[in-house]
Amino acid sequence: MGPNFLIIAILVAFVFANEESFRSLKGAQEISITCETEKQLDFVLRFEDNNHFDFLKVSHVPPENVQVLVTENQLLNFKMQLDQNGIKYKVLVDDFQKVIDEESKAQRRALMLANRSHQGDENDTYDFDHFPRHNAINDYMEQMTKKYEDVTLFSIGYSYDGRSINGVKISSGGNKTKPAILIDGGIHAREWISPVTALHTISELVNEKNKELYKNVDWYIIPVLNPDGYEFTHGKDRLWRKNRSKIGHRQCRGVDLNRNFGYKWKLSGRSRHPCHITYAGKAPFSELESQHLRDFFLSKNGTIKIYLTLHSFGKYLLYPWGYTPAEVPENEDVLLKLGVIAAVKLKALYGTEYKIGSAARILYPAAGGSDDWAKAIGKADIAFTIELPGTSFVIDPSLIKPIGLETFEAFRVFGVYAEIVYKDL
Ligand code: 0X9
Ligand code: ZN
């Protein structure tokens, strides 16, 4: 073995040691737990800080179920503890890796078909039939700007790994200061239905029949706020939630961007430990991605009156405050009424039923969310976190279109409201 070979071998070993490997969820089960009492819920939530458990859906309001993914080696022990405490559960997914593998196969199939049927096309080569990668999302937005003069592309800055966080402005132009609506998606990496629903909104807004919606209101749409996390979920770890920043010299990466916004930061619902999925970061706005959204928001000088942030899953229209159930915003009556009207529209097409309420009251208290910050500091009059439909983060791509269409019906409500209520900015 020559010295050159040795150097190459060392280099290869070094590169692979630094490259995070694929996370297999072979044998991991998704379990749905019915907590009939506060005590039972407390017991289950004690596992939240355990790395072998991934809480996919939690509601602090009994008797809602908790959906948790448990690694294979912890299953027996966990189920035994549930039995001992008289807590009812059922297995929803027997082997989560199989679900992920099926999803990747479907993605590949859809991509192949799309490439085949669009060969030679220059524009609009995406049909909302699979979950697009970050590059494809940015390409799509670029194509829209080329095709429609009312659409302009912007970047709010770069992510930790250097990806451009892009968005589009849809506006009829002119010199008048207009009220604006900001819609973002992809704060949480694994919630794949979110970016694609934001993207779908762009395709709807530019449709001739919806032109009125942006005559007197500007729309800003940023589909992927957390591109590094999003890309990481494509192939490395399908259930990654946070961004990908390195925290000091620690092994664990990532901050939950929806705990990192600087209003009542860390007051509730977050973790202090960098390895946990709700780690709030070293300081408020410690993360580039949350900083960029804040700066973009503030650069619009109070014109962003409505902020809608797309998450999944659970069919909730959540308004502030998320940090505490003890208080609600001064305009709660308006938030609730708008929520009710939006929910009626969300139900109209396919019967989807949303629940409406303050995030801390109808889901769980969690501080540092973008919604609370937008309302309290960003001066948005209306802020909603929209937990889109689905029963998992892994979601059938055939639902992309219907979810996009029904969600747009709710956006219409906010558009009309903005036009009427904030016309005299
Ligand atoms: O916990 C969150 O960040 C959101 N739910 S998710 O399942 N998509 O992670 C809810 C956020 C609601 N808003 C605040 N708590 N501020
Ligand atoms: Zn989320």
3-class state of residue 216 by DSSP: coil
pLDDT per residue over 71-128, tens digit each?
999 999 999 999 999 999 999 999 999 999 999 999 998 888 887 777 665 555 788 9
Per residue in 193-246, pLDDT (tens digit) is 999 999 999 999 999 999 999 999 999 999 999 999 999 999 899 999 999 999
- Read off the tokens for 316: 């909730």
Task: Give the closest ligand to the alpha carbon of residue 58.
Answer: 1
User: Does the C-beta of 280 come closer than 6 Å to ligand 1?
Assistant: no
Interatomic CA distance for residues 289 and 287, integer angstroms: 6
For residue 401, give the nearest of 129, 126, 134 by alpha carbon: 129
Q: With a 6 A CB cut-off, is 365 part of the ligand 1 pocket?
A: no
Residue 88's CB: how many other CB atoms inside 10 A? 14
Share of residues in the chain with pLDDT > 90 (%)? 82
Cα four-point dihedral sign 294, 299, 300, 305: positive
Q: Give the nearest ligand 1 atom to 58 CA.
A: 7
Domains 19-94 and 122-421 share a fold: no
State the distance from the centre of ligand 2 to the C-alpha of 311, rounded, in angstroms. Answer: 4
pLDDT computed for residue 2 by the predictor:
53
Q: Which of 387, 406, 409, 419 is catalytic?
A: 387
Tell whether ligand 1 has an atom less than 6 A from the beta carbon of residue 256: no
| Ligand 1 pocket member 372 (CB < 6 A) | yes
Contact 258/187 with Cβ under 8 angstroms? Answer: yes
Give the burial string for 141-163 (b: 16+ CB within 10 Å, else e).
bebbbeeeebbebeebeebbeeb
Q: Which ligand 1 atom is the nearest neighbour of the CA of 314?
A: 7
Count CB atoms within 10 A of the CB of residue 232.
24
Q: Please give the average per-residue pLDDT across 178-182, as a whole number.
A: 98
Examine the pLDDT at 319 and tell me if it is beyond 60. yes
Q: Which CATH architecture has domain 122-421?
A: 3-Layer(aba) Sandwich (3.40)
Q: How far is the CA of 258 from the centre of ligand 1 (A)?
A: 7
- Residue 371 CA: nearest ligand 1 atom is 16
Ligand 1 within 6 A of CB of 311: yes
Residue 98: what pLDDT? 96
Known catalytic residue at 30: no
Distance (Å, whole) CA 117 – CA 201: 23
The answer to whether 154 and 171 are in contact (CB under 8 A) is no
pLDDT category of residue 16 using cuts at 50, 70 and 90: very low
Residue 181 CA to ligand 1 center (angstroms) comes to: 20
Residues 377-392: what's their mean pLDDT?
97
Return the half-sphere exposure (C-beta side, CA atoms, 13 A cut-off) of residue 326.
5
Mean pLDDT of 340-348: 98
Say how far apart CA 45 and CA 40 lie, in whole Å. 9
63: cis peptide before it, omega within 30°?
yes
Ligand 1 contact, 54 CB (< 6 A): no
Asked if residue 395 has pLDDT above 50, the reply is: yes
**Residue closest by Cα to atom 2 of ligand 1:** 258
Residue holding tokens 């479907």? Answer: 106
Q: Which is the CATH superfamily of the domain at 19-94?
A: Metallocarboxypeptidase-like (3.30.70.340)
Which residue CA neighbors atom 12 of ligand 1 most closely? Answer: 359
- Using an 8 Å Cβ cutoff, are 219 and 183 in contact? yes
pLDDT score, position 41: 92
CA distance 168 to 154: 6
- Ligand 1 centre to CA of 322 (Å) is 8
Question: What are the pLDDT digits (tens) for 242-283?
Answer: 999 998 767 889 999 999 999 999 988 877 788 889 999 999
Alpha helices in 19-59 (DSSP H): 38-45
203 Cα to the center of ligand 1, angstroms = 26
pLDDT value for 269: 80
Q: What is the per-residue pLDDT for 14?
A: 46
- Relative to the CA of 311, which ligand 1 atom is closest? 8
How close is the Cα of 309 to the center of ligand 1, in Å?
10
352 — pLDDT class (breaks 50, 70, 90) = very high
Ligand 1 pocket, 322 CB below 6 A? yes
Task: List pLDDT tens digits, range 130-156.
Answer: 999 999 999 999 999 999 999 999 999
pLDDT band at 7 (very low <50, low <70, confident <90, very high): low
Domain ranges of the chain: 19-94, 122-421
* Residue 117 confidence (pLDDT): 76
Measured in Å, residue 56 CA sits from the centre of ligand 1 at 11
Task: Please measure the distance between the N-terminal and C-terminal CA atoms of the chain and give it in whole angstroms.
Answer: 75
**Band of pLDDT at residue 64, cut at 50, 70 and 90:** low
> Is 318 close to ligand 1, i.e. is its CB under 6 Å away?
yes
> What integer best gives the mean pLDDT of the chain?
92
Q: Is 359 in the pocket of ligand 1 (CB under 6 A)?
A: yes
Mutate to test the pocket of ligand 1, among 55, 191, 258 (most ligand atoms within 8 A of CB): 258
> Is residue 17's pLDDT more than 70?
no
Q: Which atom of ligand 1 is nearest to the CA of 360?
A: 15
